[in-house]
Structure 1
């Protein structure tokens, strides 16, 4: 979680990663994630939740896990009456580094620099979550909707959603 001022300067509020035992059944793993997210939202009371939007990946196992965890985060936000926004990894990378194909180390280094941290947040998932929060704060509004012109990834997603609705 981050606080972002109108001048785009940011301050770290909280960072953590909810882990579940990979040997547990999926329903137990998702329940663990939901409980962890509820605890953080109840403690810190954010005004919006930003979640990774799975756009396209080669590894189906990774896509499914990310999509399921994202769905849980959206559900928990909805339970709390919080607006939620989704951003693709490419959008996040572009917002944080200026380059949509940046590697993890570049994103992590920029997150540390933006938040004036002495070291890169660990584990890597923590830095990813902070990058997502910063991306949303810089690209979105308090109601959870993106502001300004759409990125190519956002346009492609919007077009795909329109086609799906028929």
Structure 2
């Protein structure tokens, strides 16, 4: 499975591509940051993020895109920018028919470090170890994007089985009512 992880942000949008399957060693295929100037108009910043996402999708051809779920922060301006960058990433994937998964920050931290309250240094250290890198990716947004991809690779099989079980249960329940 090849996953593009996206840590959304208006100034720095972390991106990272990881390939592998749960229970096997994972491989980093690329990591970076799509940057936009803080003093540019919002519309131009969103176009720059779109162009950056399209380049990553063209180059790496992921099967899935994993995006950090936007959660409420104290700074409304920050959360709005994060949500806008997140929407651009989801739009780019949807346009190509690539499934998008949203993962909360605590879900990603728990998957990668074992603790949903891990700090950025712990996440970076585990990403470095899991991908057998010589140093943690910089900035932290890049490491977070890789963590999102890792989280999705590890959690997708269980999530898929759960969705299939729910679908079967719903189908069986519907058949039982019509009989």
Q: Which runs of 5+ in 1 are unaligned?
A: 151-166
Larger radius of gyration: 2
Q: TM-score, normalised by structure 1?
A: 0.83
Match of 1:25 in 2: 41
Alignment pair present for 1:121 and 2:137? yes
Match of 1:62 in 2: 78
Aligned equivalents of 1:9 and 1:57: distance in 2? 35
Native 8 Å contact 1:51 1:85 kept in 2: yes
Cα separation, partners in 2 of 1:105 and 1:148, compared to 1, 3 Å: farther
Aligned equivalents of 2:161 and 2:76: distance in 1? 32
Aligned equivalents of 1:86 and 1:107: distance in 2? 18
Alignment of 1:1-166 (within 5 A): 1-141=17-157, 146-147=159-160
Native 8 Å contact 2:21 2:154 kept in 1: no
Cα separation, partners in 2 of 1:26 and 1:136, compared to 1, 3 Å: same
Native 8 Å contact 1:2 1:11 kept in 2: yes
Q: How many residues align?
A: 147
Measured against aligned partners, the alpha-carbon deviations of 1:18-38 in whole angstroms (never above 9, x if no partner) come to: 000110111100100000000
Q: TM-score, normalised by structure 2?
A: 0.78
Native 8 Å contact 2:21 2:153 kept in 1: no
If asked which structure has higher relative contact order (CA below 8 Å, sep 6+), I would say 2
Deviation, structure 1 residue 5: 2.8
Native 8 Å contact 1:48 1:83 kept in 2: yes
Native 8 Å contact 2:113 2:123 kept in 1: yes
Q: Which runs of 5+ in 2 are unaligned?
A: 1-16, 164-179
RMSD: 1.7
Deviation, structure 1 residue 6: 4.2
